[in-house]
C-alpha cells in the first residue's frame, strides 16, 4: 500500500478535496433548480441534461483519481479500510442509480414524456444528496487523515 499512498500523496491533496467540494455544490445547485421546475418537465429538461453531464464527469474524475486509492485502503484491515470499502460500494450503487435515471429520463430533445419524472427525480435526488453527505462526512475526512499521516 505504501506505493499507492506515495503515488496518491504526490497528487495535490488539497486540489482533490476542493474539486470534490465544488462538484458537491454544483450538483446540489442543479438539484435545487430541477426541483423548482420539476412540475414543468420541458423547463426541467435542460437542468436534467446538465446534471447528467456533471454527474458523469464527476464519476469519471473519481474513477481516475480516487478508486485505486480507495481500493488500496480497503485492502488494509483497520478503521479506514471499513470507510473505504463502504465508499466504494456506495459509489457503485449511486452510479447504477444514475444510469437507471438517465435511461428513464434521457432529457434529450425527443424526450417529451415525463413518465414518472417527479417521483423518480425525488428518489434520485435523495440518493445523490445522501452520497454527497457521505462524501463530506466520510471521504473528505478519510482523505484529510491519510494525507496528514503521509506528509
User: Measured between alpha carbons, how far is 24 from 98 in angstroms, rounded to an integer?
Assistant: 15
Which residues fall within 8 angstroms of residue 24, CB to CB, at 6 or more apart? 132, 135, 136
- CATH of residue 51's domain is 1.20.120
Residue 150 has pLDDT above 50, yes or no: yes
Q: Identify the pLDDT of residue 42.
A: 87
Question: What range defines the domain where residue 91 resides?
Answer: 2-150
The structure's pTM equals 0.86
Write the pLDDT tens digit of every residue in 8-54.
554 567 788 999 999 999 999 999 999 999 998 889 999 999 999 99
Write the pLDDT tens digit of every residue in 45-81.
999 999 999 999 999 998 888 888 889 888 987 888 8
User: Measured between alpha carbons, how far is 16 from 29 in angstroms, rounded to an integer?
Assistant: 20
> If you count DSSP H runs as helices and E runs as strands, how many of each does the chain have, helices first?
7, 0
State the total domains in the chain: 1
**Strand ranges inside the chain, DSSP E:** none
Amino acid at each position: 500500500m505504501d506505493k499507492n499512498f506515495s503515488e496518491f500523496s504526490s497528487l495535490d491533496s488539497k486540489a482533490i478535496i476542493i474539486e470534490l467540494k465544488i462538484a458537491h455544490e454544483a450538483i446540489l445547485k442543479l438539484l435545487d433548480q430541477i426541483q423548482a421546475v420539476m412540475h414543468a418537465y420541458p423547463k426541467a429538461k435542460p437542468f436534467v441534461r446538465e446534471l447528467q453531464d456533471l454527474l458523469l464527469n464527476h464519476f469519471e474524475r473519481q474513477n481516475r483519481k480516487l478508486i485505486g486509492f480507495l481500493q488500496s485502503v480497503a485492502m488494509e484491515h483497520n478503521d479506514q479500510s471499513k470507510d473505504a470499502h463502504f465508499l466504494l460500494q456506495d459509489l457503485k450503487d449511486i452510479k447504477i442509480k444514475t444510469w437507471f435515471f438517465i435511461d428513464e429520463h434521457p432529457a434529450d430533445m425527443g424526450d417529451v414524456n415525463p413518465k414518472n419524472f417527479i417521483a423518480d427525480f425525488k428518489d434520485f435526488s435523495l440518493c445523490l444528496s445522501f452520497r454527497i453527505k457521505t462524501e463530506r462526512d466520510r471521504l473528505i475526512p478519510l482523505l484529510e487523515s491519510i494525507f496528514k499521516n503521509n506528509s
